[in-house]
Structure 1
Amino acid sequence: MSTSSSSTSTQGGDGGGEPPSSSRSRLRSSNGVWPEPFLEALALHVAVDASRAIGRLAAAQALSNIFQVCSTWRAISRSDLLWRNLARRIWNVRELLHRESWREEFVYRHRTAANFRSRRYDHTTLHFVPTDNNNNDDDGLRCRRLALSDHHLAAGFSDGAVHLFHIPSRLHLSTFYPQHRDRLGRFSSAVSGIILSDARLVFATLDGDIHMAAVNAAAPLRRAHLGDVVNDGALVDFAGCNRWWVGLYAGVPRRAFHIWNGETEELVFVGGVLTDPEAVMGWHLLTELTGIIGRIRVTNGDMAVACTGVRVVVFHLLSQGVEMGEEEFPRGIVVGAFDAYGDSALVPDARGVATVRRVGNMEEVCRFTMREGVAFGCMNGGYGVTWGGGVIRVWEIHHGQYLYSFRERIGECNALIADERFVAACCDDATIHLWDFGAQ
């Protein structure tokens, strides 16, 4: 893009743009007077349309075309407000994370996504000393969940331990163990979900306990919620954000979903029948780590999407669990490869066909066929990542195009996760692999 560096101060507002001030300058073209806010709104509209129709990388070319119309139109490339709205709408970025201006942040995100498409990454492994508190020699120590933030990675294991790593230094920072109490089943303390930011770590275990710790503070781990496995069943998956925590349970009828206010830690809803058919499987998880029963994800717009082996349900968190849609998949769903990110969900079926759906109406965006059997999968805003047969593969999720496989072979995978910059996976020997696509 032929753009000038940003010179306009950052202003408030959401991703849809802001009401222009009456004092903002008006720009003149050969066809008359063009208000600067109008041109900015036009550029935003064109870039977002290109992103939705072709893919997020297409937004840069669309902006370049706008800026080349004339010097008057090119002048809006200096608006930090425009770049802020572009970063929010196209890259879902709410604050500056990597650069000093919104234009630089947008360019960084574009280059990182381009690296993802062309397989430009750095690979490393993260090392720690695993300790199996449950002495599960016959089952082995398994990584159950991975979570990423901008500067940290957390890995939760079947013994209840959560290991926290600092990504820039690749160092193991600390290990957290759930508080001791009488357990119902030897795997009741296995980690079932992690919510991670650079400020806070929240994790849940199969018995329903939820623990919290500050990432960079000396405050000890504390239990935010005491689980009641007898009355609720097993907490088979746990996800959320700063605003919401959502748990997916199996074992007791009509108690599939639990929703907490993530700021006050108050339980605000219990209900749902999604996992009623999997009740027996939920109880078995406490004593043996069998298959993955269900997944739940919190997405944009205060919505959550959850699945079992045959069904996907979407519900609104503000409406306290009111379902917005449900769809059955007669071919079955590979639950370990189900994921959601932004406003999209990745739903792989048992016959090797994966569909990308819009969360809310479950409209199909694209589909692709996975020739190798897939056990785990994840996604970010532009790409789907799958593991099967020892190989990690990457797919573009606007048109379903297969792009490439990772050069590294990691053996048997236990957990897989991706965000806009990183992919992380853990294998049977508890080695954590990290691929960094960050723009260099």
Structure 2
Amino acid sequence: MSTSSSSSSSSSSSNGGTGSSFQRRTRSRKGVWPEPFVEALAVQVATDAYLNSGRLSAAQALLNIFQVCPRWRAISRSELLWQELTRRIWNAENLRSDTWREEYIYRHRTAANFRQRRYEHTTLPFTDGLLCQRLALSDEYLAAGFSDGGVYLFHLPSRAHLSTFYPLDRHRLGRFSISISGIILSDVRLVFATLDGDIHTATINDEMPLRRAHIGDVVDDGALIDFTGSNRWWVGLYAGAPERAIQIRNGETEELLFVGGTLTDPEAVMGWHSLSDMTELLGRVRMTGNEKAVACTSSRMILFDLQNEGAILLELVLARGIMLGCFDANYYAALITDQRGIGSLRLLMDAEEVCRFRLRGHPALGCINAGYAVIVNSGVIRVWEIERGQCLYSLRERIGGDCSAIVADERRVAAAAQGGIIHLWDFGAQ
């Protein structure tokens, strides 16, 4: 009896011990979800949703994660989490809202507006008779570059024309040598280049006058047919001199870092002609993510490393050619349209085709942001979702006459038309 009781007691003790241990392990398992783990899980789930179904789907995936329990909902207020999510999903490094969570929400709503055709349309006038050749956008400003060398600067919130810049005088070679070939624009600085290779810079809202940062050398370099960059890099694409197609400069010190490349050697003669005659586009160059740039002519595209003396990382030759007016790139892919009007989005890491779509009619010009392509043809502007190659809609407003330049960022689309008008569509979250 005693033994039995002892055994029973032992068994009861054993069971009780096991139960307590199990409860402790259960509580422990609930407690092994520290904030960094949950944050990493949220980032991974959101990234997977983005890669599988598009950027807008990441928000629903995050909502599902944060509904698991009150503790996880509390973690959803982490600023570090939203900073990483904004960087991963929207490729944004700079905070413009009060918090990173608000920044993510703003970018999500703006992208949703792009998809659902919610925008405000306005027009910005410029001198009729001028040909607008380049457009550039920043958060606060729009810059328009013309064939006479003028660059108009507009303040976007007020739609006011702030000032006009012209290249500093010097001896020019060719009637169109001062045509604007590229613009780099931020909220604090304007940099623009002309066909003869001159590069000018000005600080916005500053008393300092326009300054020539570099004097072009047409004889040695040829014509500067396209120009792009960032605060860190200035990249020029030239045509006219052998093995001098690309120049890379430090955008902060303005120092020349690299000259070389044969991309535009076949276009050398046309490069020289562009100085005195209005010719068709000869080449394009665009910045991408991760310190790289992509450039193309009508038959060939290259991806090159800005940090490693222009080393070519990828080369693509298209048998059906490239429609240069519809070539553009974002931080991870390039929009390439062949001469038959077949558009494709290709990853820049390996040229893999993400999607393919047939553009209506014979498109004249096009551009992309992170999620959408904007293509203009015969005055009609259509918006395509590039993640799936799906035409979403046409903008309600038509452009009168031919479109000479078009640009898009994550919030706005701007297009220059004949008649001295720049059309501006603002998809910013309301």
> With structure 1 as the length reference, what TM-score do the two structures score?
0.90
Deviation at 1:141, TM superposition (A): 2.0
Matched, 1:434 2:424: yes
Of 289, 312, 324, the residue aligned with 2:313 is: 324
SS at 1:218's partner residue? coil
Is residue 184–residue 192 contact of structure 2 (8 Å, CA) maintained in 1?
A: yes
Match of 1:125? 123
Partner of 1:414: 404
Aligned to 1:261: 250
1:36 matches 2:35: yes
Distance 1:103 1:281 in 2: 50
Instruction: State the match for 1:221 in structure 2.
Output: 210
> Residue 340 of structure 1 aligns with which residue?
329
CA distance in 1, matches of 2:121, 2:29: 52
Change (3 A) 1:58 1:29: farther
> Of residues 226, 232, 248 in structure 2, which corresponds to 1:243?
232
Q: Does 1:392 align with 2:392?
A: no
Query: Aligned match of 1:102 in 96, 100, 103?
Result: 100
2:133 alignment counterpart: 144
Q: Match for residue 55 of structure 2?
A: 56
Provide the secondary structure at the position in 2 that maps to 1:377.
Answer: strand
Deviation at 1:357, TM superposition (A): 1.1
Q: Partner of 1:321: helix, strand, or coil? A: coil
Q: CA deviation at 1:68?
A: 1.3
Correspondence for 2:342? 353
Structure 2 unmatched runs, 5+ = 1-26
Task: Provide, for residues 394-437 of structure 1, a one-character-per-residue CA deviation record: whole Å limited to 9, x for no partner.
Answer: 00011101100110011210000000000000011221110000
Cα distance between partner residues in 2 of 1:356 and 1:387: 17
How big is each residue's C-alpha offset from its partner over 1:244-303, in whole Å with a ceiling of 9 and x where there is no partner? 000000011100000000010000100000000011111111111110000001110000
Return the match for 1:424 from 410, 414, 417. Answer: 414
- Which residue in 1 is equivalent to 2:71? 72
Does structure 2 retain, via aligned residues, the 8 Å contact 1:210–1:223? yes
Contact 1:83 1:102 in 2 (8 A): yes
1:30 shift after superposition: 6.5
CA distance in 1 between counterparts of 2:31 and 2:176 reads 72
Q: Is the 8 A contact 1:211 1:223 kept in 2?
A: yes
How far apart are 1:212 and its partner, in Å? Answer: 0.1
Counterpart of 1:190 in structure 2 is: 179
Q: Whole-Å Cα distance in 2 between the matches of residues 375 and 261 of structure 1?
A: 33
Per the alignment, residue 169 of structure 2 pairs with 180
Preserved CA contact (<8 Å) 1:337 1:377: yes
Bigger CA drift: 146-155 or 65-74? 65-74
Task: Map Cα deviations across residues 114-159 of structure 1 (whole Å, 9 max, x no partner).
Answer: 00000000000012446xxxxxxxxx52101000000100000000
* Rg comparison, structure with higher value: 2
Note the C-alpha offset of 1:72. 2.2
The SS at the match of 1:429 is coil
AA of the residue aligned to 1:110: H
Structure 2 Cα separation of the partners of residues 320 and 47 of structure 1: 36
Q: TM-score, structure 2 length as denominator? A: 0.92
Instruction: Write out per-residue CA displacement over residues 177-197 of structure 1, whole angstroms, 9 at most, x where no aligned residue.
Output: 001111110000000000000
Q: Which residue of 270, 291, 297 maps to 1:302?
A: 291
In structure 1, what is the Cα distance between the partners aligned to 2:206 and 2:48? 43
Per-residue CA distance 1:30-81 (angstroms, 9 max, x = gap): 7442110010011011111211221110110110111112222222111011
CA deviation map 1:207-229 (0-9, x unaligned): 00000000111110000000000
Over the matched positions of the two proteins, sequence identity in percent amounts to 65
Residue identity opposite 2:218 in structure 1: V
Residue of structure 2 in register with 1:364 after alignment? 353
Native 8 Å contact 1:29 1:72 kept in 2: no
Unmatched 5+ stretches in structure 1: 1-27, 131-139
Contact 2:127-2:420 at 8 Å conserved across structures: no
Distance of 2:264 and 2:247 partners within structure 1: 12
Tell me what 1:377 maps to. Answer: 366
Deviates more, 1:63-72 or 1:167-176: 63-72
SS in structure 2 opposite 1:34? coil
Cα offset, 1:29, TM superposition: 8.3
Q: Paired residue for 2:14?
A: none
Q: Which amino acid aligns with 2:64?
A: N
Identify the residue that residue 208 of structure 1 maps to in structure 2. Answer: 197
| Runs of 4+ that moved beyond 4 A | none
Q: What secondary structure is seen at the aligned counterpart in 2 of 1:41?
A: helix
Corresponding position: 1:88 with 2:87:
yes
- The one-letter amino acid paired with 2:280 is G
Please state which structure has a larger fraction of its residues in helix: 2
Q: Give the secondary structure class of the aligned counterpart of 1:78.
A: coil
* Amino acid of the structure 2 residue aligned with 1:198: D
Note the alpha carbon deviations across 1:5-40, whole angstroms, 9 max, x for none: xxxxxxxxxxxxxxxxxxxxxxx7874421100100
Residue 46 of structure 1: aligned partner: 45
Q: Is the alpha carbon distance of 1:29 and 1:242 closer, same or farther for their aligned partners in structure 2, counting shifts above 3 Å?
A: farther
Q: Using the alignment, how far apart are the partners of 1:93 and 1:327 within structure 2?
A: 28
Maintained 8 Å contact 1:336/1:375: yes
Counterpart CA distance in 2 for 1:220 and 1:249 is 27
**Is contact 1:258–1:269 with CA below 8 Å preserved after alignment?**
yes
* Helix, strand or coil at the partner of 1:245: strand
CA distance, structure 2, for counterparts of residue 29 and residue 69 of structure 1: 17
